[in-house]
Structure 1
Amino acid sequence: MPHARPVEAPRLPSWAPYVATGLVLTSLGAGALWTACHIAPDAVLHNAALFAHLTCLVVGFGAVLTVDWVALLWLARRCELRDVLRQAGHVHVPIWTGYAGLVVSGVMLEPDLSSPITRVKLAMVLLIGWNGLLAMWLHARLTEDPYRFHLGVSTLTASLSQIGWWGGDADRVRQFPLMHFVQLAAGQAVATCRCPARLLDMQVIACLWCCHGHCLSGSG
Structure 2
Amino acid sequence: MAGQPLIALPGRHRRRLPPATRAAVVSLLWLAVVVIAPRVTPPPDVRAAALFVHLISMLIGFGAVLFVDWSGILFLAGRRSFGDVLRTAEGALTPTWIGFTGLLGSGLLLSPQVTHLTTIKLLAVLVVGLNGIYAGTLATRLSRFRGYRPPTPLLIQAGLATALSQLAWWTAVIIGYLNSQFL
Interval containing the TM-score (normalised by the shorter chain): 0.7 to 0.9
**Alignment-derived partner of residue 154 in structure 1:** 158
Aligned counterparts of 1:144 and 1:151: Cα–Cα separation in 2: 13
- Percent of counterpart pairs with the same letter? 35
Aligned counterparts of 1:82 and 1:54: Cα–Cα separation in 2: 31
**Alignment-derived partner of residue 140 in structure 1:** 140
* Secondary structure in 1 matching 2:169: helix
CA change 1:111–1:175 in 2 (3 A) is closer
> Is structure 2 residue 49 aligned with structure 1 residue 48?
yes
| Alpha-carbon distance, 1:22 to partner | 0.3
Q: How does 1:20-169 map to 2 (within 5 A)?
A: 20-113=21-114, 115-146=115-146, 147-149=149-151, 150-169=154-173
Residue by residue over 1:22-57, the C-alpha shift from the partner in whole angstroms, topping out at 9 and shown as x without a partner, is 012101111222221332112111111111111100
Moved more, 36-45 or 102-111: 36-45
Q: Is the 8 A contact 1:54 1:172 kept in 2?
A: no
Q: Is the 8 A contact 2:39 2:111 kept in 1?
A: no
TM-score (norm 2): 0.82
Aligned counterparts of 1:64 and 1:79: Cα–Cα separation in 2: 17
The residue type equivalent to 1:92 in the other structure is: L
Aligned counterparts of 1:173 and 1:112: Cα–Cα separation in 2: 14
Residue by residue over 1:105-136, the C-alpha shift from the partner in whole angstroms, topping out at 9 and shown as x without a partner, is 111111223x1111100100000001101110
Higher RCO structure (Cα 8 Å, ≥6 apart): 2
Q: Is the 8 A contact 2:60 2:99 kept in 1?
A: yes
Aligned counterparts of 1:121 and 1:26: Cα–Cα separation in 2: 15
Aligned counterparts of 2:173 and 2:150: Cα–Cα separation in 1: 34
Number of aligned residue pairs: 163
CA change 1:55–1:174 in 2 (3 A) is farther
Aligned counterparts of 2:178 and 2:28: Cα–Cα separation in 1: 30
Q: Is the 8 A contact 1:57 1:99 kept in 2?
A: yes
Aligned counterparts of 1:174 and 1:26: Cα–Cα separation in 2: 25
| Alpha-carbon distance, 1:174 to partner | 7.1
Instruction: Please give the root-mean-square deviation of Cα atoms over the aligned residues, in Å.
Output: 2.0
> Is structure 2 residue 20 aligned with structure 1 residue 19?
yes
Aligned counterparts of 2:144 and 2:73: Cα–Cα separation in 1: 22
Q: Is the 8 A contact 2:121 2:176 kept in 1?
A: no
